[in-house]
Amino acid sequence: MPSTLQKLMNAKVLRLNKAGTPIAWLTWQETATIVAKDQVIWSLGETLRTVRGGINKRGDRSLLELPSIIACDGRVEDSRFTPTLTNSLLFARDQHLCMYCGDQFSAKDLSRDHIVPTSRGGRDVWTNCVSACRRCNNRKGNSLLEETSLELLAVPFAPNRYEFFYLSNKDVLADQMEFLKPRFSRHSHRMFQ
């Protein structure tokens, strides 16, 4: 488990568009460039880092305070969003639990299981995939759930934009979580308790 100091050192800044929709995780260096160029139109959250610059002729030192959430001007994209299905995001969505036996595993000991196998017409989409330990995945094999004694522990769902940003950053800060969580879907509230 990372320490609080490590978490702060690794922390990213959540970049929003002017409508308040997340669009990227930024490093503190990328954020410093945006702040220095005066491209931030509003910000939220705590100061993530203070960057000290050079000293001018009068002896004044420049300072940039980098907030944990920034909004920048620009085009607002279409609000429809479904992230690409990857194993790392799938395992994060399922909290590294096997959705059949309920045990927790490291990513290397999990696999992607298609509830309806692709060989039987199932698609490789969020709502047809769950994390499964190798034992349970082998046990299920090419069968449909009703052909086995296995049961799903949670209903699979496609993360919305806010859930995706939570799942894609292992070091989400409290104020960033406070911004993201109210916009989670009703399905994910059970998963991200």
- Residue-wise pLDDT tens digits, 28-75: 999 999 999 999 999 999 999 999 888 888 888 888 999 999 999 887
pLDDT of residue 2: 55
Q: Which residues of the chain have pLDDT under 70?
A: 1-9, 78-79, 187-193
Nearest of 17, 167, 1 to residue 77 by alpha carbon? 17
pLDDT of residue 67: 96
Taking the alpha carbons of 158, 161, 162, 166 in that order, is the dihedral positive or negative?
A: positive
pLDDT of residue 191: 55
Domain range list for the chain? 4-77+168-187, 87-147
pLDDT of residue 184: 92
pLDDT of residue 76: 78
pLDDT of residue 7: 57
pLDDT of residue 192: 54
pLDDT of residue 188: 63
pLDDT of residue 53: 82
- For domain 87-147, the CATH architecture is Orthogonal Bundle (1.10)
pLDDT of residue 166: 95
Taking the alpha carbons of 83, 88, 92, 93 in that order, is the dihedral positive or negative?
A: positive
